[in-house]
């Protein structure tokens, strides 16, 4: 009986097709994007668009259901008035400028007038998410130059200065 030479075949033979990959131990995160953005119920991440031309990632955020609406000034439940699309610059995603976009409800309070409701990811009156604002402030503290921070984070001078002003008040 001729001896068969061993070819490269056995390498393939060693490849084992085992059982399906085991479930990862620990907590399964159903929505890591929401966690990264610091979103809480009822807000969730919708479409995420990558715009290569604009060097930008746009993340749509929406409320799952109608949450009870509260006045931003006094936190009293108020009837809805309308909603406005707003956007916030968030921390970059792999060097892509990242923008959070959401329709945010406004309520009508008899005394306080028409006010936007609170969103969990940003302070009122800023175009940055809280995480982005924290980074800007951190950089401003360490670099001590608004121009340098604005350049590094691709902001304009007013945006960087606005964060500084909010941090010191």
Q: Where on the chain is the footprint of Zn ion (CB under 5 A)?
A: 71, 73-74, 109, 112
Query: Of the candidates 149, 144, 50, 43, which has an alpha carbon nearest to the alpha carbon of residue 102?
Result: 43
- Grouping H, G, I as helix, E, B as strand and the rest as coil, residue 129 is coil
What are the structure tokens assigned to 169, written together? 């008040």
Task: Specify the pairing of strand 43-51 against strand 56-63.
Answer: antiparallel
Phi, psi of 22 (to 5 degrees): -65, 155
Q: Which residues does 86 contact at the CB level (< 8 Å), separation at least 6?
A: 101, 102, 103, 104, 116
Task: State the nearest-atom distance from the C-beta of 110 to Zn ion, in Å.
Answer: 8
Task: State the nearest-atom distance from the C-beta of 68 to Zn ion, in Å.
Answer: 14
Kindly tell me which of 40 and 75 has the beta carbon lying closer to Zn ion. Answer: 75
Kindly tell me which of 106 and 109 has the beta carbon lying closer to Zn ion. Answer: 109
Kindly tell me which of 32 and 113 has the beta carbon lying closer to Zn ion. Answer: 113
Kindly tell me which of 89 and 109 has the beta carbon lying closer to Zn ion. Answer: 109
What are the structure tokens assigned to 155, written together? 């902001």
Kindly tell me which of 57 and 107 has the beta carbon lying closer to Zn ion. Answer: 107
Task: State the nearest-atom distance from the C-beta of 79 to Zn ion, in Å.
Answer: 12
**Which residue, chain included where needed, has tokens 């490849």?**
15
Nearest residue to Zn ion on Cβ basis? 71
Phi, psi of 139 (to 5 degrees): -70, -40
CA distances (Å), origin 156, targets 37, 118, 169: 23, 26, 21
Task: State the nearest-atom distance from the C-beta of 69 to Zn ion, in Å.
Answer: 11
Task: State the nearest-atom distance from the C-beta of 112 to Zn ion, in Å.
Answer: 4
């Amino acid at each position: 009986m001729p001896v068969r030479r061993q070819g490269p075949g056995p390498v393939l033979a060693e490849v084992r097709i085992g059982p399906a990959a085991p479930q990862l131990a620990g907590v399964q995160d159903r929505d890591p994007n929401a966690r990264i953005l610091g979103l809480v119920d009822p807000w969730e991440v919708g479409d995420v668009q990558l715009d290569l031309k604009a060097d930008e990632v746009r993340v749509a955020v929406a409320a799952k259901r109608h949450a009870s609406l509260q006045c931003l000034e006094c936190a009293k439940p108020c009837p809805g008035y309308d909603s406005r699309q707003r956007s916030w610059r968030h921390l970059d995603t792999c060097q892509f400028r990242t923008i959070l976009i959401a329709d945010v409800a406004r309520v009508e309070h008899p005394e306080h007038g028409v006010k936007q409701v609170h969103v969990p990811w940003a302070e009122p009156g800023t175009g940055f998410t809280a995480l982005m604002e924290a980074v800007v402030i951190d950089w401003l503290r360490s670099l001590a130059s608004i121009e340098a921070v604005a350049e590094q984070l691709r902001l304009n001078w007013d945006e960087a200065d606005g964060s500084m002003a909010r941090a010191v008040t």
